[in-house]
Amino acid sequence: MKIEKHISVNKAINYGQFMVNLPVLLFLVGTPLIVFYLANIFDFPLWLGIIGFFLGIILSWFAWSILITKWRIWAFSSVNNVHELRRKAIQKKLIWKTGTIFEKTEYRSKKDKLSLKKLEEKFNLEDVFEEDPKLSKEVKIYYSIATALFVIIFLSFGFIAGVCLIIDDSILKICFGFFLAVISLFVIIENIKNIMNRQPQIIIDAEGIKATNEDFRHWSDIYDEQILTEGYGSSAEHYLIFGDASSNYTKIDIVNLTTTPSKLENILRTYRIRYNKNNKI
């Protein structure tokens, strides 16, 4: 595989999603569909289609075990910050944690093992990040009005649908409609509160981090600040986390704020670099 030099971590992750996860998904979904189709065409017992599900799992895992090794070699050869790449690849469910039984199912030829062994040397070096000169002396992050409005408009239809079901004669529809209307109304009210709350939820500068309902934390008192992603795909949730001197971690939800995980990560790095420069660390 052709090796590119000095590509970004995000680009490597995105390419991995396309190179690895897309073929895996095609095998996982396509195999049982093809088996069911052939069973129907050739008038085989449809229960044979169940074999397609197991065959799809086997083929998709086999494809993953081969492709993920190829991606590892390409990605860790092409990216400078290999620690960040490994952390994000695990969060994105692209690879498994080091040493787990699932990682051991990756197929690695003798040549692959030699390549990966050589790449281990890169993990002896620390990741290097650059300061973003465009960031001001202080960054204030608020609740996103656009996100809140989208949720309000979307769930308004859910609320209306729930009310329509409540006036039906069916007990089942009434119960479901009541549940839908109450949940929709609750989330709508919460988002209206977010629109009305124009206080910054997170303030970050060269001195430290201040979040709503949290004490100000000086850079000297915190470590390992990063963006944590839990879940996968559209259901993924993102948090700002950092540790303190007592080895306790603070976890702040950033989903509905005026920032993205990548932007906030850039902000954290920049102000950490500025603090280290000012204090000659």
What is residue 147's predicted lDDT score, i.e. its pLDDT? 93
Q: How far is CA 191 from CA 163, 174, 177, 195, in A?
A: 20, 26, 21, 6
Cα angle, residue 139 at apex, residues 272 and 255 outer, rounded to 5°: 95
Q: Which of 84, 77, 85 is nearest to 120 (CA)?
A: 77
For residue 32, is it left (φ>0), alpha (ψ between -120 and 50) or beta? Answer: alpha
Mean per-residue pLDDT, 79-106: 89
How far is Cα of residue 45 from the mean position of the Cα atoms in its chain?
A: 42
Beta partners for 202?
141, 211
Task: Read off the pLDDT of residues 18-64 as tens digits, 9 standing for 90 and up.
Answer: 999 999 999 999 988 888 888 778 777 767 777 888 899 999 999 99
- For residue 141, which phi and psi values (nearest 5 degrees)? -115, 125
Give the residue carrying structure tokens 């040493």: 99
Residues 6+ apart with CB under 8 A from 6: 78, 79, 80
Go through 141-175 and write b for each residue having 16 or more CB atoms within 10 A of its CB, e for each that does not: bbbbeebbeebbeebeebbebbeebbeeeeeeeee
pLDDT at 74: 94
The predicted pLDDT at position 1 comes to 47
pLDDT of amino acid 234: 64
CB 160 within 8 A of CB 154: no
- Write down the pLDDT at residue 195: 94
Rounded to an integer, what distance in angstroms lies between the CA atom of residue 148 and that of residue 189?
10
> In which band, very low, low, confident or very high, does the pLDDT at 16 lie, cut at 50, 70 and 90?
very high
Summarised one tens digit per residue, pLDDT across range 94-133 is 998 888 888 889 999 999 999 999 999 999 988 888 888 8
Beta bridge partners of 228: 239
Pairing of strands 222-230, 208-211: unpaired
Give the tens place of pLDDT for each residue, 170-202.
888 888 889 999 999 999 999 999 999 999 999
126-170 residue pLDDT tens? 888 888 888 888 999 999 999 999 999 999 999 999 899 888 778
pLDDT of residue 3: 47
Mapping DSSP to helix (H, G, I), strand (E, B) and coil, where does residue 26 land? helix
Angstrom distance (rounded) from CA 97 to CA 232:
16
Nearest CA to 265 out of 5, 1, 13 is that of 13
Q: What is the pLDDT of residues 217-270, one digit of tens each?
A: 899 999 889 888 877 666 778 899 998 877 788 899 998 999 988 899 999 999
